[in-house]
Structure 1
Amino acid sequence: MSAATRPDWLSIRADFPVLTRQVHGKPLVYLDSANTSQKPQSVIRAVDAFYREHNANVSRAVHALGSEATEAYEGARGKLAAFLNVPANELVLTSGTTFALNLVAYSFALPRLQAGDAILLTRMEHHANIVPWQLVAERTGAVIKVVEITPEGALDLDDLRAKLTGDVKILAFTHVSNVLGTVNPVAEICREARKRGVITVVDGSQATPHRAVDIPALGCDFYAFTGHKMLGPTGTGGLWAKREHLKAMPPFLGGGEMIKEVRFEKTTYNDPPHKFEAGTPNIAGVVGLGTAVDYLQAIGMAEIEAREQALLRMAEARLSAIPGLRMFGTAPGKAAVISFLVEGAHAHDLATLLDLEGIAVRSGHHCAHPLMAHFGVPATCRASLAFYNTHVEVEALGDAIEKVRKLLA
């Protein structure tokens, strides 16, 4: 892209209505995109237009509205599939990553695991990529093993290779850490797993909004993602799986849409991916997510990543100059997430006082209790940047932390 056609970031920011708000009399500085992203006007309009003009159930009726709803819904699936470089018939639409990971755990892993088998996770996993595996392990007699991290917050690849032993059947890990911003070398990890016949499950929640994701190049067996973190509505997301796995997996939920024919004696299930999509889906939300994909692609994922990396470098430099501030996660090539604490201040107190300055950051364990325990802290504050943030907002964060630090001293 030439300099003349590079994104106009201030114009792009103007596409997000909520960013014009004031909070406690101060301009809103929204730094919680890892929790949920804000939505551009085009996504909001797409959801509104669906309900105003096309509202009907999908795959249920031959009337015009039913056909329009189905076309819009399946069109969004096609957009998402192209975005991830996968066939549309390998993409199951879900309510998000949590549902997707549970689908893999119960439909794929539960029938295959037995006592003596192991599920390998990493220290940096979100609870959504821990708890489903614990529940399955309890029911099958399998055990959980954990790959540790380096002091910088990178995955310890030597430890991973050492723990990829013969008992490991499934390796589930995050593409990008929601706490540390660490970007894991997914292709390398999956290559090591394939050598040993280990199934790989990747949590892509924090990757798809911020960088180009080419699933075939990663070489995983399953890839889960969440729509509301990538400019889409809440309650949207998906699971990509190899076609062979989708065919072999039994349905996770039963009901309408996931069937071809129902008799009291026997039910014939629909073909994947519809076999895993029981009931009425979040049609308007998925349509909105398709529009979010259009928006991201219009900017370009390479441009988005470069913009966020520039903001991250500035934020790290600004915060590292603040006395008593400790940052967690300094792995090279990390995503635009900064988890931090200020000496003498509890994370919740810090976040509450920052909110009074109009700065929205998240405080807490970030659904990563094992990682907090590793660092010996109950919680951190987390500033997560997106392409719609500005350098002025980064300075505002630094200024507000310094002000709050003095108040808490």
Structure 2
Amino acid sequence: MSDHDLPLPRRDLARRFEAVRRHTLTLTEPLSAEDQAAQSMPDASPAKWHQAHTSWFFEALLLRPHLPGYRPLDESFHFLFNSYYEGLGPRHPRPQRGLLTRPSLDEVRAYRRHVDSHIRQLIDSCTDAVWAAIAPTLELGLHHEQQHQELLLTDALHLLSCHPWRPALIDAPPAPIAAGTSEWLRHDGGLVEIGRDVHQRNAAETGFAFDNEGPRHRVWLEPFEIASRLVTCGDFLRFIDDGGYREPRWWLSDGWATVQQQGWKAPLYWVADGDDAGRADSADGSGSGSGSGSGSRWSVFGLHGLRPMDPAAPVMQLSFYEATAFAEWAGARLPSEPEWEAASALPGMAQLADQAWQWTRSAYHPYPGFRPLEGAASEYNGKFMVGQLVLRGGSLATPPGHTRPTYRNFFPPAARWQFTGLRLARDARPRTETPA
């Protein structure tokens, strides 16, 4: 084993474990026990369930197989809080997680404390050989919990959007968005490398990566241009005012059918003044403001409650269908994920990972030579590589330090309750030569 293949030091990973676990509880502080038990749609999960499931992950993948004499707090939790790990047994149906009124929130918190104390015991007591085997799974569990921290926020936001009060999750004004002009940045294309060699640490690639981020490989790119900033609410309002949701020519066939079926007229959480039908109160989270947009003043519901739309803020809660329709209307397109990753290093690229996840035009497929993690963690990513589109970047709800340029997020094309937006791209214009 080389120095670069060694697991992270115990003390460092133990500190990270404490910090990540504590942050999950911090995120739930504004939520009542009732808030944390409710499920607003099948794709969302109660905050209580997120807290229990992230504990289940450490218990199922680390404590049960690696801590001698470990005794679960409650054997039934193994069934209740499994998400999709078929190899670890049956599970409670996802659409019915909101029916789990028991265990109580207090009992879930006790479950977290039980798991935490035994993870500390495992870290302190295991041999070096066991540590080398379990440290990658422990690190995976921390990044898994950070993913659920973002999901906890997006799911809670959807839940609160269904309430007539539209209560704020964060009782403070949002940070102002600095207005900036978006410019076209050129990438000359050619043979580029993307992805990570994720199955071993090496000197060139430090830090964590999920298995779906690798292996590193080469792709050929034609010259392209990409916007330096994200599409704003003001930009998207012009699309609405130009009849964007009424004109089928901008839309993919499936997208237009979804618009008609769901009655979309604006991004999720946009509410036209005087329109109280804008709550995301449909079973699939498809509700939106019913105003036409033209001549209307809009408000947007977010983590800070319902506030007047900021034209300079990046537009969010967009489906892939809406993103592609806007790009078509704007005479542009979405970037492919190799284009996005290659462009992420360009000088002038702004709002890469701190505002909204950015839809790409790439299907979520395995990279050449992809192989999943071993054991139960093999189900983490690979089995979802069908029917999904890749998003790149990060969002204002993503925990700090969780993202990187190779990160591959993914959702089905109609999903729009996440902090998802877009960045435009286009084929490069021919260079103009200066006369001699």
Asked whether the two chains share a fold, i.e. TM above 0.5, the reply is: no
Q: What TM-score results when the alignment is normalised by the length of structure 2?
A: 0.21
Q: What TM-score results when the alignment is normalised by the length of structure 1?
A: 0.22
Higher strand share: 1
Higher helix share: 1
Q: Which structure has more RCO (C-alpha within 8 Å, separation ≥ 6)?
A: 1
